[in-house]
Amino acid sequence: MRPLVHPAIEDISVEGIMHALSDPVRVAIFADIAMSNCSQNCTSFSSVEDKAIPKSTLSQHFKSLREAGLIRSERLGVEMQNLSRCGEIDKRFPGLLPAILSAHKIQNDARQHTAKTGRKKSIRAVAK
């Protein structure tokens, strides 16, 4: 089995974080992990935003998040447990992740409103 790569905090870059979170599935996975107070295993994300995600694709998403320094993964038997590194990253880049997660929530709330009502609600109105 290959060892898991977790970059040192000084090797984490804003560009790497932004690239990892540029994919809608990855940002949804990361938001869920970041908002959780406990580790989450990979299989709990086999469906993201009502879309089935193949295991191989899911592995690639977790690898991108891990290599960007956003999560720490640990093998426990056959499962992979994942924790956010928000605390560490917030010390390096204060406010970056809370801003991204807040923007993601506003965007999701607007999408959910549209899905429920069939009418778009401005993101500005959702943010209030």
- pTM for the model: 0.85
CB atoms inside a 10 Å sphere around CB 6: 16
Q: What contacts 34, CB < 8 A, 6 or more positions away?
A: 84, 86, 97, 101
Q: Rounded to the nearest 10 degrees, what angle do helices 24-35 and 96-117 cross at?
A: 110
Domain ranges of the chain: 9-94
* Interval 88-121: pLDDT, tens: 999 999 999 999 999 999 998 888 888 788 776 6
The predicted structure's pLDDT at residue 126: 52
- Residues in the chain with pLDDT < 70? 120-128
The predicted structure's pLDDT at residue 128: 56
CATH architecture of 9-94: Orthogonal Bundle (1.10)
